[in-house]
């Protein structure tokens, strides 16, 4: 019996089987009484997990910070980060709320292109370089001729860059009557929408992934 847990179990066996006092049993096994009384990590963890499950059932909308506060009030000495990891490990972590996507209704009915530069469509295409870094491509097409008017490639593209690229195209080809896109944040940004309205371009937003 070399390990502390084995000597602790032996002391408990002597007390239960032969009626030996705790002091006598610990002396025979060269075990300090405080060591014998101290619960193992497994026992402490089992009790902590049981408390976590009880509190999570009682407070189903509480996050790990609130559960940690309840555990501290109950006398458990445990760190907040450990509570977070244990809740995730036990499947008790709250599901993240899905961010509501702001949907913009079309400002003009869908139009069938009847002549060149009547209706343009633009969208983003994703790719990556050999080192795994992401690339974004802003693509603009004339729906009547099916000619690609622009492919702007960058690591990231903001709404301001979208506006800048459209300005260059408008200066070269003239502004279309309609501009079609999905409701991505770069396309529905207030700066882009207001600028298009000033240019007299009507917008139509379609569902992401639609033709």
Q: Give the pairing type, strands 134-142 and 148-154.
A: antiparallel
Domains of the chain with CATH codes: 4-89 (no CATH), 119-206 (3.30.420.10)
Residue 7 CB neighbour total at 10 angstroms: 19
Task: Copy the structure tokens of residue 134.
Answer: 């992401």
Residue 193 makes CB contacts below 8 A (sequence gap 6+) with 203
| For range 131-141, the mean pLDDT | 89
**Are the CB atoms for 141 and 149 separated by under 8 Å?**
yes
Residue with more model confidence, 30 or 102: 30
81-85, 100-104, 147-151: range with lowest mean pLDDT = 100-104
Residue 46 CB neighbour total at 10 angstroms: 12
Check pLDDT > 90 for residue 133: no
Q: Give the pairing type, strands 178-182 and 202-206.
A: parallel
Question: Sorting pLDDT into bands at 50, 70 and 90, what band is 177?
Answer: very high
pLDDT of residue 12: 84
Residue listed under structure tokens 């502390």: 4
Task: Copy the structure tokens of residue 58.
Answer: 């009682």
Check pLDDT > 90 for residue 77: no
Greatest CA separation for the chain: 102
Quote the mean pLDDT of the chain: 82
Please compute, for residue 108, the number of CA atoms within 13 A of its CA located in the half-sphere on the CB side. 17
Query: What is the helix (H) or strand (E) element at residue 142, kind and residue range?
Result: strand 134-142
| For range 158-171, the mean pLDDT | 91
pLDDT of residue 211: 56
| For range 168-175, the mean pLDDT | 93
The sheet carrying 148-154 orders its strands as 148-154, 134-142, 119-128, 178-182, 202-206
Helices and strands (H, E) in the chain, number of each type: 9, 5
Predicted TM-score (pTM) of this structure: 0.48
Residue listed under structure tokens 């260059």: 168
Check pLDDT > 90 for residue 116: yes
Check pLDDT > 60 for residue 107: no
Please give the Cα distance from 79 to 57 (Å, whole number).
Answer: 20
| For range 133-141, the mean pLDDT | 91
pLDDT tens-digit profile of 89-98?
A: 877 777 666 6
Task: Copy the structure tokens of residue 65.
Answer: 């910070």
Q: What percent of the chain has pLDDT over 90?
A: 21
**What does residue 81 show for φ and ψ, rounded to 5 degrees?**
-65, -35
| For range 123-141, the mean pLDDT | 87
């Amino acid at each position: 019996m070399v390990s502390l847990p084995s000597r602790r179990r032996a002391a408990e066996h002597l007390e239960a089987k032969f009626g030996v006092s705790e002091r006598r049993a610990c002396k025979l096994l060269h075990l300090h009484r405080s060591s014998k009384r101290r619960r193992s990590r497994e026992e402490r963890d089992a009790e902590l997990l049981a408390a976590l499950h009880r509190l999570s059932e009682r407070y189903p909308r509480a996050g790990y910070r609130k559960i940690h506060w309840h555990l501290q009030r109950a006398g458990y000495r445990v760190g907040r980060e450990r509570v977070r990891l244990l809740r995730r490990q036990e499947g008790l972590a709250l599901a993240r709320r899905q961010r509501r996507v702001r949907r913009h209704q079309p400002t003009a009915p869908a139009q069938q292109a009847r002549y060149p530069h009547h209706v343009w469509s633009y969208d983003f295409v994703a790719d990556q370089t050999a080192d795994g870094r992401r690339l974004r491509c802003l693509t603009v097409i004339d729906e009547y001729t099916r000619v690609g008017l622009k492919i702007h490639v960058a690591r990231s593209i903001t709404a301001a860059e979208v506006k800048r690229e459209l300005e260059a195209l408008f200066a070269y080809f003239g502004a279309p009557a309609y501009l079609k896109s999905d409701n991505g944040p770069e396309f529905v940004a207030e700066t882009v929408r207001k600028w298009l309205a000033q240019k007299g371009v009507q917008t139509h937003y379609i569902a992401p992934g639609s033709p």
